[in-house]
Amino acid sequence: MPPPGPAHGHPRNPGMALDLDWVAGAAVNRSAVERRVESLPGRRSVKGAHQAAWLLKAVSLIDLTTLSGDDTSARVARLCAKARAPLRADLLEAVGMAGLTAGAVCVYHDMIEPALRALEGSGIPVAAVSTGFPAGLSPWALRLAEIEASVKAGAAEIDIVISRRHVLTGDWQALYQETREMRAACGAAHMKAILATGELQTLGNIRKASLVCMMAGADFIKTSTGKEPVNATLPVGLTMVRAIRDYEARTGFKVGFKPAGGISKAKDALVWLSLMKDELGQDWLQPDLFRFGASSLLGDIERQIEHFVTGAYSAGHRHAMG
């Protein structure tokens, strides 16, 4: 039986044969991308109840994450409790959103079992980072074995990291082959391919890597591990979502998107949601096609929802993740 995961109302991307002509022609006009990003509506264009509704939607798309060397079962249990009840009960009651949960909980392999135990019966999937995260430089056989071990342990989603050197040297065949084998190792678990975009040098490289990973069968493409010096930026996001749009137009298959790292403010979440809706449409405002890799975002969203409900902000420390 496949592990539990988000409900998918669309066929899973099976991938396709590597099309090097498509990859070679995948250019990006940086100035046009930057102009488009500057035109995105910010927080001021969404007010009151509409803003609260968008922020509640954002909560349902957050992958609450702990990826530290000092992770413990107790820390993971607290994170899972937060995923089950991401906002204060009185606020959820006031806005009529009882039962709201986060999108997933993301952990290292060793923390899968305590996460599954803490999330039992919730329907919230456990995602595991894999393949020598974050650098992705462990021996190839071990990277595949790590995926298989995490799937066997019950992870519904696997976040893999690509070999950046294949992008930087233009070895698209090697990138495709590796990603294809990692997708096969995932089996029924959904695969999120992390591009580590802050290390790929150009938007053109990011677009090409996005296409190759989708051709190889990625269920999601994700900007960053969160460990690079530069993480999710809007020009990178626009480049990736337009690759997703082109891939769907050519193949008919929808692929998800996950910006990760550096998204900590509610106003930023609103801009990302606007980008997804404008570029890809309503389908990409659901957890099976869009996630935020941004645990710290939740605290600021709770502050904004509290302000909407009560008209006032409380002390910031009340919203800190524990």
Residue 5 is predicted with a pLDDT of 42
Q: What is the DSSP string of 210-224?
A: HHHHHHTT-SEEES-
| CATH topology (fold) of 20-310 | TIM Barrel (3.20.20)
Q: Report the alpha-carbon distance of residue 99 to residue 141 in Å, rounded.
A: 41
Long-range contacts of the stretch 46-52 (C-beta < 8 A, 24+): 46/270, 48/308, 49/308, 51/270, 51/304, 51/308, 52/95, 52/304, 52/305, 52/308
- Residue 258 a catalytic site member: yes
Q: Within a 13 Å sphere around the CA of 60, how many CA atoms are in the beta-carbon half?
A: 20
User: Which residue of the set 57, 63, 82, 159 is catalytic?
Assistant: 159
> Which long-range contacts does 182-186 make (Cβ < 8 Å, 24+ apart)?
182/131, 182/143, 182/144, 182/147, 182/158, 183/15, 183/216, 183/217, 183/218, 185/144, 185/147, 185/148, 185/151, 186/147, 186/151, 186/158, 186/160
DSSP 102-121: -SEEEE-GGGHHHHHHHHTT
**Which positions ≥6 away from 67 have C-beta within 8 Å?**
106, 107, 108, 129, 133, 226
H helix runs in the chain, sequence order: 20-24, 30-38, 48-59, 73-84, 89-94, 112-119, 140-153, 164-168, 172-186, 203-215, 234-251, 266-280, 297-310
Q: Which of 57, 258, 265, 288 is catalytic?
A: 258
Which of 57, 82, 222, 265 is catalytic? The answer is 222
Please say whether the beta carbons of 99 and 89 come within 8 A: no
Q: Judge contact between 76 and 58, C-beta under 8 A.
A: no
Q: Is 222 one of the annotated active-site residues of the chain?
A: yes
> What is the residue-level pLDDT of the chain in tens, covering all 322 positions?
333 444 457 899 999 999 999 999 999 999 999 999 998 875 456 667 889 999 999 999 999 999 999 999 999 999 999 999 999 999 999 999 989 999 999 999 999 999 999 999 999 999 999 999 999 999 999 999 999 999 999 999 999 999 999 999 999 999 999 999 999 999 999 999 999 999 999 999 999 999 999 999 999 999 999 888 888 999 999 999 999 999 999 999 999 999 998 899 999 999 999 999 999 999 999 999 999 998 789 999 999 999 999 998 876 545 544 4
Q: What pLDDT was estimated at residue 49?
A: 82
Query: Rounded distance, CA 104 to CA 292, Å?
Result: 10
Q: Which residue do the tokens 């991938």 mark? A: 15
Nearest to 150 by CA among 181, 113, 123: 113
| 159 catalytic per annotation | yes
Tell me, what's the pLDDT at 149? 98
Q: How far is CA 105 from CA 1, 60, 129, in A?
A: 21, 12, 11
Report whether 104 contacts 146 (CB < 8 A): no
Cα torsion 210, 2, 155, 220 to 10°: value is 10
Question: What is the value of pTM for the model shown?
Answer: 0.93
Identify the pLDDT of residue 241: 98
